[in-house]
C-alpha cells in the first residue's frame, strides 16, 4: 500500500450507517472508486453490534417517522423479497405509561403526529394489559418501596405492531456484501483514522497552511496505515465523531453516553417463560419490546435465546462523553442489580431473583434535537447523531447521504417518498424536536 | 473553613456572567446567603479579561438584540447616572461588506430585524467610506495576491452608532463591588470546583447512589478547599462548562475555541494615527470597531493606548475544544504575521510592516444557535454559551438568571422590557438562530 493512494470517496466506519451509505453511494455512482475502512477487524463490530437492535416507526417527529418507517419497510423487503434473512421479527413495541404520562401534552402530540403520518398504533387500557400480560404488576398501592423508587403505576399501553427486532450483524452484512459486489476497491479493516487531512484549497505550499484567508477542504484521512486521499470523506463513526471533527473546527453537535445491555435467560423459570410467550400482541406469540413507565428501563424479547435483553436509558447521573473510551465498552456488574433489577422486578415479578448470564456496553450518540445529521461540509460528508436509533434509520440515512453526495435536491426513500437532502443538515435543518427517545 | 459549609446559593465563576448573576440574585433575595467562588485569584481574570470587550446591539436575532440593547443601555446608565466609569466609549461598529455579502439574504434579514426592533444603523456606500476613511483600500483590481487570498472588495459599510467598547475589568468590578456590599458571605478565590455534588433526593444511604430510579439533585460543589453545599449552584464558567456538566449527564451543548488578540501601537506611524483618528463616525473622532469582509479579521481602536487590538473569528481550521486547556491561553506568535496581517494590510495599508507589541489568548464558547443558555436543571442554574458576546449581554443574563432562580415567569430587563424566563432554556427554548457572530 503506497502512503498516498487516491480514491473518489472514503467511507470511514463500517457500522450500520457507514455500510448503508457506501452501498447507496456505489449503487448510484457505479464508476466511482469508493473505499470503506474501519478500525475494527470486520463490519458492524463496534457500537452497531452493541445495540438492542430494535426497530420502530413510533416516533414523535415526522422526520424520524419517515426515516424509520421507510427503512423498516426496506428491511421487510430485503427479508421477504430478496430472501436475505435479517432475523427481523415483528414483535411490536409496547410503551407502558402511567395515567399522568398518557395524558401529558407530549404524548398527545406524539399520537397526533403518528395519526397524521399514518403510523399505526393501538392504545390498551390497564384492564386489557392485565389480561394480556398476567405477569404485569399494575398495582403499587401500599408498596412503600415502589413509592420510594418513584415508580409510576401502569395505566395504559401504547402498542405499535409494525415495530420489532432484528439482527444488526445480518443487516450490516447485507449492505456490506452488496456494496462489495459493486465496489472497485476492497474494503480495509484495522485501519484507524488518526485525523482528517484538512488542506488549503488551492495549496500554496506555505509553512503553516491552511491560513484563515484560505479556502479549506478535507482531502482525505491520515491513518495508522498511511495517508489516503479522496474528494469526499464520509464520516460515519458515531460516538467517535468529535475526535475527528473537532480538530478541524467543525462542531458535530453530538455527544455520547455509555449504554449497557444485560441478558436474562427464561429457560429455568416458568414465570419468565410465560412472560416471554405472552399471546395476543403479534403472530410470534411473544411479549413485545417493552418500555417501562419509570427509570428508563426496557426489555426486548430474544426468541432464539429464549430470554430477554434488559436495557436502560440513562439520563442525569450518567456522564456524557466527548468521545468514546475503552471504559464505555465494559458493562458494570452492579448496574443490573442496583439500577435495572429493582425496577424491572416491581413491574414484572417474574424477574425476581434473576441474574444476567451475559452483558455488554457501547456508546450512544445524541444530537441536540434527537434527529440525525447528514451534511457535506468542506469535503466531509457527516452521517451521525442518530441518537440510539441508527439501525432503524440506516436505509434512509444511506440514501440521503448518497443524495447529498450527488448534490441532488431530494433523496428518494424506499417506497418512493422524498425528502429534501438538506433536511438533516446543520445549516438548513428543518426538523421537529424528537421527544420519544429511549 | 469546615469541609461541609452550607449556603443558599453558590455562584461558580466570577467572570462577567457570574458577577452579574450574583449581583441580581443577591439584590432580589437580600436574605439569601450567596457565595461567589472562582478558581483564579480575583474577579474577571479569566476569559472576561481576554475579550476584545466590544459591545454591540447589532445582532440578527431579536433575542440577542434585546439582551444586548438593554445591557448596553444599563452600562450607559451605570457610567452616566451612577458615575461608575466603565470606560464605555461609543466608537460604533462598522461592518465592511462586499457587494455579494451586502445583497445576501442573511444580511437583508439582519437589517429587517434591526429595523423591526428599533436598532439604529446606517448604510454607507463605497464612495462615502472612501471619503471618511482615506486609508481604506476599496480597490483590489489587478491585485493577484488579494485574489489568491479570496479577499472580497469593500462595497458597503453597515454602521451602528450605539455600539462601542468598554473595559471588562471595570464592568466586573462594578457588579462585584455592588454584590459585596449586599452579600452576607465573603467571595472566595483560588477555589477550584472539581465536581458538582450530585446526590439522590432523598438520600437512602445506599452504596453507589444515586440509582436510575432515584430523583437527583446537585447539592453543592466538591472543591480543592473542601465540599460546599447549597440549594442552587449557579454555573457561569464559560469554556469550562463541559468539564463540570458532562460528568453528571447534562449536555451543555456548548463547545469552545481558542481566540487571540494582538496589540498594534499607532504612535510611531503617521498612517496608523490617521486611521485611528478618523472623523465622522462618532463624537470621539476615532475609527469604529471594524470588521473586514474577509477571513473574519477585525480590529478595535484602543484610545488610551493609541493603538488597535486585532482579532480574528477563526472558523474551519481552528479546533473546537471540549474544555479549555492551558494551551488555549497562549497566543501564537506567527498567527498575526501569517493569518491576520496579510488580510489587514490589504484593506488598510497603514498596517504594513506592523508588529504586535502585546498579545493574549482565551476561550470562546459557542452555543449551537449562538444564543446564550440560562436554565435551572437538577439544582444547577447554568448561565453559558454567550458565543463571544457575554460581556455585552451580561446585565440581561444576570437578570434572567435571577428570575429563573426566583421562579418568576418573566425577567424584567433594564428599561422595563420583559422576556419570558424560559426563553434561553434548553427545554422551552424560543429563539431565532443568530447569524451575525464574529
Whole-number average pLDDT of chain A: 96
Give yes or no: residues A276 and A334 share one domain: yes
> What's the pLDDT tens digit per position in B31-59?
999 999 999 999 999 999 999 999 999 99
Q: What is the mean pLDDT of residues A304-310?
A: 96
Q: Which residue has the cell 486611521?
A: B275
Q: In degrees, to the nearest 5, what angle opens at C-alpha A382 toward C-alphas A376 and A386? A: 135
- Of B79, B115, B28, B47, give the one whose Cα is nearest residue B399: B28
Is this structure's pTM higher than 0.90? Answer: yes
Are A234 and A105 within one domain?
Answer: no
Give the number of domains in chain B: 2
CA distance B313 to B39: 27
∠ CA B224-B229-B234, nearest 5°, is: 85
The answer to whether residue A309 scores a pLDDT higher than 80 is: yes
> Do residues B140 and B86 make contact, with C-beta atoms less than 8 angstroms apart?
no
Q: Give the 3-state secondary structure of residue B311.
A: strand
Grid cell for residue A11? 467511507
Domain that holds residue A123: 89-165+255-366
Longest dimension (CA), chain A: 77
Residue B428 in domain: no
DSSP state of A46: S
Structural element, H or E, at residue A79:
helix A62-80
Cβ contacts (< 8 Å) between A206 and chain B: which residues? 338
Residue A176 lies in a domain: yes
Chain A positions touching B322 (Cβ under 8 A) are: 242, 246, 322
Interface test mutation site (partner B, options A144, A317, A369, max chain B beta carbons within 10 A): A317
Cell, residue A416: 418512493
Are the C-beta atoms of A190 and A205 separated by less than 8 Å? no
A316–B245 CB contact, under 8 Å: no
Query: Of A342, A366, A390, which one is at a domain's C-terminal end?
Result: A366
pLDDT at A4: 83
Do residue A249 and residue B320 have CB atoms under 8 angstroms apart?
yes
Q: Decide if B198 contacts B378 (C-beta within 8 A).
A: yes
Look at residue A234 and tell me whether its pLDDT is greater than 60: yes
Position B3 scores a pLDDT of 61
What is the per-residue pLDDT across A177-204, written as a single tens digit (0 to 9) for each?
999 999 999 999 999 999 999 999 999 9
Which residues of chain B neighbour A208 with C-beta distances below 8 Å? 334, 338
Q: A366, A398, A433 — which closes off a domain?
A: A366
Q: Are residues B243 and B266 in the same domain?
A: no
- C-alpha cell recorded at residue B46: 479569566
> pLDDT of A387-416, one tens digit each?
999 999 999 999 999 999 999 999 999 999
**What is the ipTM, given to two decimal places?**
0.94
Q: DSSP for A276-317?
A: HT--SSSTT-SPPEEE-SSTTEEEEEETTTTEEEEEE---TT
CA angle B407, B413, B415 (to 5 degrees): 145
The one-character DSSP state at A60 is S
CA dihedral A75, A81, A84, A88 (to 10 degrees): 40
Among residues A277, A278, A308, the alpha carbon closest in space to that of A124 is found at: A278
Q: A374 near A382, Cβ under 8 Å? A: yes
pLDDT in tens, B70-119: 999 999 999 999 999 999 999 999 999 999 999 999 999 999 999 999 99
Residue A416 CB-density burial (10 A; 0-12 exposed, 13-18 middle, 19+ buried): exposed
**What are φ and ψ of residue B341, in 5° steps?**
-55, -50
For residue A84, being part of any structural domain is answered with no
Inter-chain touch B248–A316, beta carbons under 8 Å: yes
* Chain B residues with beta carbon closer than 8 angstroms to that of A340: 212
**Looking at the domain assignment, is residue B80 inside a domain?**
no
- Nearest residue of chain A to residue B433 (CA atoms): A427
Q: Residue A220 forms beta bridges with which residues?
A: A229
Shortest CA gap B308–chain A (Å): 20
Answer whether residue A80 is part of any domain: no
Domain identity same for A156 and A190: no
**Closest B-chain CA to A433:** B427
Residues B328 and B405 in one domain: no
Cis peptide before B202, with omega less than 30 degrees from 0? yes
Cα torsion A382, A386, A392, A397 to 10°: value is -20
Residue B99 lies in a domain: yes
- Give the minimum alpha-carbon distance from B37 to chain A in angstroms, rounded to a whole number: 24
Q: Find the closest chain A residue to B247 by CA distance.
A: A319
pLDDT for position A177: 98
A16-28 vs A394-405: helix axis angle to the nearest 10?
40
Report residue B276 as a C-alpha cell.
Answer: 485611528
Q: A99 and A239, same structural domain?
A: no
For B199, half-sphere exposure in the C-beta direction (CA atoms, 13 angstrom radius) is 15
Same domain, B263 and B344: yes
User: What are B260's strand-pairing partners?
Assistant: B361
Count the neighbouring beta carbons within 10 Å of the beta carbon of residue A283. Answer: 10
Asked whether residue A358 falls in the same domain as residue A272, the answer is yes
Q: According to the model, what pLDDT value does residue B333 have?
A: 87
In whole angstroms, give the CA distance from residue A227 to residue B25. Answer: 55
For the stretch B180-222, pLDDT in tens is 999 999 999 999 999 999 999 999 999 999 999 999 999 999 9
pLDDT of residue A3: 61
pLDDT, averaged across chain B = 96
Let me know how long chain A is.
438
Shared domain check, B174 and B153: no
B227 CB neighbour count, 10 Å cutoff: 16
The predicted pLDDT at position A1 comes to: 44
pLDDT greater than 50 at residue A211: yes
pLDDT on residue B4: 83
Residue A435 belongs to a domain: no
Residues A270 and A359 placed together within one structural domain of the fold:
yes
**Domain C-terminal end among A366, A391, A407:** A366
A245 contacts B317? CB cut-off 8 A: no
* Residue A40 to chain B, least CA–CA distance (Å): 26
Looking at the structure, tell me whether residues A157 and A194 fall in a common domain.
no
Q: What is the mean pLDDT of residues A233-254?
A: 97
Q: Is A76 among the domain residues?
A: no
CA A252 to chain centre: 17
A341 closest CA partner among A330, A352, A332, A357: A352
* pLDDT for the residue B1: 45
Q: Residue B336 belongs to a domain with what CATH number? A: 3.30.9.10
Which of A201, A316, A322, A432 has the most B C-beta neighbours within 10 Å, making it the best mutation to test the interface with B? A316
Place of cell 403499587: A140
Give the closest-approach CA distance of B231 to chain A in angstroms: 18
Contacts of A214 in chain B (CB under 8 A): 149-150
| CATH code, B244 | 3.50.50.60
pLDDT at B138 over 60: yes
For cell 439584590, the residue is: B27
Q: How many helices (H) and strands (E) does chain A have?
A: 13, 21
Question: A–B: how many Cβ contacts below 8 A?
Answer: 127
**Residue A423 confidence (pLDDT) above 90:** yes
Query: B288 and B154, same structural domain?
Result: yes
Cβ atoms of A383 and A21 within 8 Å: the answer is: yes
**Model confidence over A142-154: pLDDT tens digits?**
999 999 999 999 9
Under a CB-based contact definition with an 8 Å cutoff, are residues A158 and A121 in contact? Answer: yes
Which single residue is written with the C-alpha cell 467517535?
Answer: A240
Amino acid at each position: 500500500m503506497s502512503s498516498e493512494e487516491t480514491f473518489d470517496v472514503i467511507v470511514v466506519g463500517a457500522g450500520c450507517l457507514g455500510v448503508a451509505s457506501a452501498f447507496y453511494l456505489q449503487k448510484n455512482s457505479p464508476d466511482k472508486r469508493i473505499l470503506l475502512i474501519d478500525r475494527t477487524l470486520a463490519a458492524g463490530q463496534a457500537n452497531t453490534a452493541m445495540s438492542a437492535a430494535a426497530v420502530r416507526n413510533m416516533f414523535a417527529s415526522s422526520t424520524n417517522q419517515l426515516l424509520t418507517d421507510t427503512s423498516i419497510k426496506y428491511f421487510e423487503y430485503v427479508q421477504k423479497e430478496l430472501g436475505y434473512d435479517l432475523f427481523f421479527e415483528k414483535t411490536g413495541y409496547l410503551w407502558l405509561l402511567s395515567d399522568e404520562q398518557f395524558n401529558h401534552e407530549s404524548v398527545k402530540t406524539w399520537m397526533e403526529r403518528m395519526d397524521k403520518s399514518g403510523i399505526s398504533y393501538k392504545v390498551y387500557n390497564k384492564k386489557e394489559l392485565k389480561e394480556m400480560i398476567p405477569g404485569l404488576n399494575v398495582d403499587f398501592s401500599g408498596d412503600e418501596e415502589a413509592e420510594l423508587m418513584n415508580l409510576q403505576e401502569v395505566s395504559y399501553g401504547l402498542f405499535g405492531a409494525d415495530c420489532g427486532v432484528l439482527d444488526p450483524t445480518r443487516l450490516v452484512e447485507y449492505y456490506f456484501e452488496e456494496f462489495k459486489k459493486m465496489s472497485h476497491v476492497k474494503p480495509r479493516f484495522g485501519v484507524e483514522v488518526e485525523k482528517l487531512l484538512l488542506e488549503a484549497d488551492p495549496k500554496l505550499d506555505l509553512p503553516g497552511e491552511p491560513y484563515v484567508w484560505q479556502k479549506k477542504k478535507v482531502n482525505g484521512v491520515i491513518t495508522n496505515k498511511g495517508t489516503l486521499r479522496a474528494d469526499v470523506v464520509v464520516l460515519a463513526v458515531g460516538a467517535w465523531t468529535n475526535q475527528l471533527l473537532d480538530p478541524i473546527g467543525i462542531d458535530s453537535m453530538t455527544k455520547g453516553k455509555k449504554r449497557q445491555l444485560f441478558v436474562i435467560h427464561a429457560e429455568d423459570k416458568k414465570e419468565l417463560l410465560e412472560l416471554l410467550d405472552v399471546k395476543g400482541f403479534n403472530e410470534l406469540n411473544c411479549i413485545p419490546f417493552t418500555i417501562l413507565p419509570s427509570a428508563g428501563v426496557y426489555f426486548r424479547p430474544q426468541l432464539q435465546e429464549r430470554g430477554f435483553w434488559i436495557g436502560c436509558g440513562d439520563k442525569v447521573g450518567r456522564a456524557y462523553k466527548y468521545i468514546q473510551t475503552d471504559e464505555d465498552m465494559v458493562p458494570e456488574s452492579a448496574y443490573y442489580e442496583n439500577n435495572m433489577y429493582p425496577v424491572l422486578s416491581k413491574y414484572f415479578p417474574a424477574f425476581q431473583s434473576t441474574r444476567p448470564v451475559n452483558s455488554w456496553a457501547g456508546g450512544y450518540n445524541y444530537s441536540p434535537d434527537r434527529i440525525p445529521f447528514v451534511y457535506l461540509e468542506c469535503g466531509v460528508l457527516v452521517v451521525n447523531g442518530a441518537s440510539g436509533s441508527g439501525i432503524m434509520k440506516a436505509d434512509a440515512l444511506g440514501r440521503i447521504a448518497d443524495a447529498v453526495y450527488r448534490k441532488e435536491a431530494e433523496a428518494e426513500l424506499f417506497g418512493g417518498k422524498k425528502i429534501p437532502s438538506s433536511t438533516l443538515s446543520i445549516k438548513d435543518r428543518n426538523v421537529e424536536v424528537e421527544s420519544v427517545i429511549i
